[in-house]
Amino acid sequence: MAPGFDSLTAALADRYQIEREIGQGGMATVYVAKDLKHDRQVAIKVLKPELAAVIGADRFLAEIKTTASLQHPHILALHDSGEAAGFLYFVMPYVEGASLRDYLERKGELPIADAVRILRHVVDALGHAHQHGLVHRDIKPDNVMLSGRHALVADFGVAKAVSEASTDERATTAGVALGTPAYMAPEQASAAPNIDHRADIYAVGVLAYELLTGRPPFDAATAQAVLAAHLTETPDPVTKHRATVPEALAQVVARCLEKKPADRWQTAEELLSALETVATPSGGMTPVATQPVRAVGSGRRRVLGVVAAAVVLAGAAWGITLAGAGGDAELVQNRVSVSSFANRTGDASLEHLGQIAGDWVQRGLVSTERLEILPSPPSLSPDSTSALLEYAESAGARLLVSGTYYLTRDSVRFQANIMDVADGRLRGALDPIGGSLDDPTPAIETLRERVMSAIAVVTDAVVDSLTRISPRPPNYAAYREWSEGYAAFYDSNFPEMKERAYRAMRLDPSFHGAKVLAANALFLLQEWVAADSILRNLESSREELNTLDSFSLEWFRGYMEGDIPAAARATRQYVQRFPDPALIRQVASDALVLNRPRDVIETLGAADPRPYELLGDSRYWRRLTDAHHLLGDYENGVAAAREGLALFGGDVFLIRGELLNLGASGRDDLLRTRVDEFASSPAVPPSLRGREVLFLALDLIRHERHQQAEEYLDRAISILETLSPEDRARRPFDSFNAYRAAGRWPDAAAFVEDVGLARFGTRTPVDTLGVLALLAADRGESELALQLSQEIRAAEDSRYPTLVERSKLNWEAIIAAALDRKDEAVEKLRLAYQSGLSFSLFQHLRADMIPLHGHRPYEELVRPKG
C-alpha cells in the first residue's frame, strides 16, 4: 500500500470504505472503495502528496468543478471530490474491465476495426472536453478504460488543476510530471508556455500508433531520449510495422504526429470526421462497377438479388457510391438507425432542416418491407457520429444512416452516409444533393429516394415501390412548424406543441404528420373531444398513412376508448419493426397500466439499458423498480432504484421506488436515514417531499406495517402543513388524503373549507361531488353520501365519454368503499378498469382504497395478472 494508507482510510471512513490499492501513476494513487451512502463500488484517486502541495486544496476544488460538468458517454464521470486530512481526492465509477494498457500487454496490437472504434470513442470524448475549455494533457492507454465494446477516458480529474499549477515553480522543484514522456507532444516536451488542445491530438496519434502496431512511435532507454525523439525525429510510417493498415488511416495518424501544432488536425471534431471515413481501403468505399456479387440460393433469394441488381443501376445513375458488403450475408440485419442530419451551415436558424431530412428518410424506409427502422432520438446530437453508432449498436441496428447539410451560395446541399454499426465502416456515401433554401423539400425527396435505393442494395431488402411511400414532402412552411412542434414536445411545452401543430395543419391540410402531432398534444392536454375529431379525420385517410402514423392512430384510439390492451398490442406490433427504446419503454408502461408487472420485467430485461443511459431517460429504471415492488421482490426493487439513481441521482420517482421497497422489506433503519436525507433535500420542492413521504406511509399501510405508517403519515402532514396556502391548494388531494388516511376526518373537512371546494373540482363537477360524498361518509351521513353518488352518475360532463365513464365509476367505487359496501366498491372498480382506468403503482398507493385492504374480491382484483 502507498504511504499513509491507514491515515487515508481513517480520513474517509465516514463516506468510503477503502478496500485495496489498484494502481499508481505519476499524479495519483488509485483505490477501489465502497461508497457507503449509495452502496456501490467506486474508484478513488488520491493525488500524490507532492502534487497536492503544489496545487493546494482551494485551487484543486475550484478547478475540478469544470470536470464535474463533463457529461459524455465516453468520459468517466466524476462522482465526488474533496480534501480530507490533507489528502486531495476525487471519486469516479469503478469500471468492471481492464484498461487499454492491460489489453495491449496481453494481446499486443488490435484488430484495425477495434482500434478505430476505440480511437473514435477517445476523440469524441476529447472533443466534448475541448469545447468546455479542458485539455487532458495525459492521453495514454492507462487512462482509457474498456467496458464491453466501449472506451471511457479517465483522469480528467486533475488536468485543469495541474495545468494551472504548471506555471508554479514549485511544480518543477517537486518533480511533478505534467504528462507521460512516451505520449508528450513536442511542445510539452520542450515545456512551451502556451500548450492547447492540439497536444491531445498529438497524444491520440501516439495512442493510435501503439494500437495499430503494438509499440509507440518512439522507444528509447530513458525518458530524456524519448522526449528528444518527440522534438527531433520523424516516426516511421505505421505501414512499415503493419502493412495491412489502410494507407488513408496511416495518413490520419501521421498528421496527428506532426511536430508543429498548426500542421496537425486542428480540432477533435475534424479528426473524428477523418477517422469515420478511413476504416477501409479507398476511404471505406468501393466503386459501384466493382461491387461484389453475392451468391444466392433459393428462388426467393434470386428474386431479391435481381431486384437489388436493378437498384444498383439506379444508384449509379443517381450518384450513389456503395462499399462492398463483404462477409456472410446472414450477418446483415435489416435493422437501420436513422439520425437527424448535422448542421454545417453555420446558421442556427437552419437547425430544423436536419430534423426534416432525417424524418423524411426515416418515413420512407418505414414504408418498405423487411426493414426495421430505429430513429436516433433528438437528445442525441447528430454531430457525434460516435454516440450515434453506440446508440444504434446498443439497440441492435446493423446500419446507421446519417448525414450533413451545408450552404453553397444561395442553395443548401444534403449529403448522406450509410455506416456499418458493427465496425464503423462506411458502407455507402451519396453524392451531395442541392436544393433551394426557399423550398428545399424537392431536394429532401430526392435524398429519400436515393437513401432507400442504397439501403436496398446494402441489405438486400426490397423497396416494394417508390410510388407506395408517402408522396412528396409537405409544404416546407408546414414542415418547419411541425419540427418546432416536436421541439416543444421534448420541452414538455404542450400548449406550444398544439399551436405549432395547428399552424402546420393550416399551412398543409394534407400533412398527416401534423395531424398526429396535434392529436398527441390534445391527448396530453386532456382535450379529448378535439383529439377525437382529428383522429377521425386520420381514420378517413388510413390508406395514405405510413406505418408510424398508423401506429400512432391505433395507440391513441386504444387509450381514448379505454381499450388499453388494443393500444398495448399496437405498440408491441410496431416495436417489432421500429425498435425505438422509447417505444420499448412504452410497452413496459402499458404492461404496468394493465397490472402485468412480470411482463414489464420480461420486456425491459430483454432490452439493453445503454440507450436509456445515453438518452438520459430514467423511466427504464422507474418501471423496473415499480414492477419488482408490485411483485413483492423488494431486494431487486431496491437494486433497480439504486442503479437508476447512480445515473440520475435527483430523480424523485426513483427515490420513491427506493423508499417503498426499503419500507416493504422491513429495512427500517436504512429507510429512516434515506427519508431524513430526502425530506431535508433543498433540491426537492417541499410539496414533492410531502407527497412522496405520504406515498411511503400509504404503502406501509398496504403492507400492514401500521406503526411505521403512522410515523411517516405524521411526517408527511407536518411537511404539507409548512406549505403556503397557495401551494397546498395547488395539489389539494395530497393534504386531503393524508388527513383521511390518518383518521383525522375533522382536519380533512377543515382543509376543504380553507382551500375551497372549487379547488377539487376544477376539471369536472364529478370531482366536486365526490369530495362532498366522502366528507358526508366520514361524518356518518350515509344517506347523503349515497345521494351524492347517484348525482355523480346523473351528472353531465362535456369531456370525452369514456373518460367521463371511468371517472364516474372510480368515484362510485371510492364512495362505496368509504361506506363499507365492499362488494359494490369492487364491482365498480372492476368496471372502471374495463373502461380504461390505469392501474400502475398509484392503485397500490390509493388512500381511498384502504377500507378494502384484506377483502378477498378486492385482493383478487388487484393481484398482478402477468
138 included as an active-site residue: yes
Q: Are 448 and 431 in contact (CB under 8 A)?
A: no
C-alpha grid cell, residue 798 = 362535456
Helix or strand run (H / E) with residue 574: helix 564-577
Distance CA(644)–CA(665), nearest Å, equals 19
- The DSSP 8-state label assigned to residue 344 in this structure reads -
Q: Is 224 helix (H, G, I), strand (E, B) or coil?
A: helix
What is the Cα Rg of the chain in Å? Answer: 31
Q: Is 162 helix (H, G, I), strand (E, B) or coil?
A: helix
- The DSSP 8-state label assigned to residue 547 in this structure reads H
Closest CA to 686 of 719, 642, 646, 651: 719
C-alpha grid cell, residue 710 = 403512522
Long-range contacts for 79-85 (Cβ within 8 Å, ≥24 apart)?
79/35, 79/42, 80/15, 81/157, 83/57, 84/8, 84/11, 84/12, 85/7, 85/8, 85/10, 85/11
C-alpha grid cell, residue 560 = 381514448
Distance CA(659)–CA(672), nearest Å, equals 9
CA distances (Å), origin 404, targets 354, 429, 445: 8, 11, 15
Q: What number of residues does the chain have? A: 866
Distance CA(428)–CA(285), nearest Å, equals 7
Q: List beta partners, residue 407.
A: 412
Q: Is 519 helix (H, G, I), strand (E, B) or coil?
A: helix
- The DSSP 8-state label assigned to residue 156 in this structure reads -
> CB under 8 Å to 394, separation ≥6 — which residues?
608, 610, 611, 614
Exactly one of 35, 138, 508, 599 is catalytic; name it: 138
Distance CA(483)–CA(493), nearest Å, equals 14
Cβ neighbour number for residue 618 with a 10 Å cutoff: 21
State the pairing for strand pair 372-375/335-338.
Answer: parallel
Cβ neighbour number for residue 767 with a 10 Å cutoff: 18
Q: Can you tell me which residue has the cell 441492435?
A: 396
Distance CA(847)–CA(736), nearest Å, equals 10
Q: Are 771 and 784 in contact (CB under 8 A)?
A: no
Cβ neighbour number for residue 107 with a 10 Å cutoff: 10
C-alpha grid cell, residue 765 = 363537477
Query: Computed from CA positions of residues 715, 721, 722, 728, in that sequence, does the dihedral angle turn out positive or negative?
Result: positive
The angle at the Cα of 95, spanning 93 to 96, to the nearest 5 degrees, equals 145
Q: Are 516 and 510 in contact (CB under 8 A)?
A: no
Helix or strand run (H / E) with residue 489: helix 476-490
Q: Is 55 helix (H, G, I), strand (E, B) or coil?
A: helix
Distance between the two ends of the chain, CA-based, in angstroms? 53
Distance CA(735)–CA(729), nearest Å, equals 9
Q: What is the 3-state secondary structure (H, E, C) of 418-450?
A: EEECCCCCEEEEECCEEEECCCCHHHHHHHHHH
Q: Are 862 and 595 in contact (CB under 8 A)?
A: yes
C-alpha grid cell, residue 678 = 430526502
Complete DSSP assignment for 752-810: HHHH-GGGG-SS-HHHHHHHHHHHHHHTT-HHHHHHHHHHHHH----S-HHHHHHHHHH
The catalytic residues are: 138
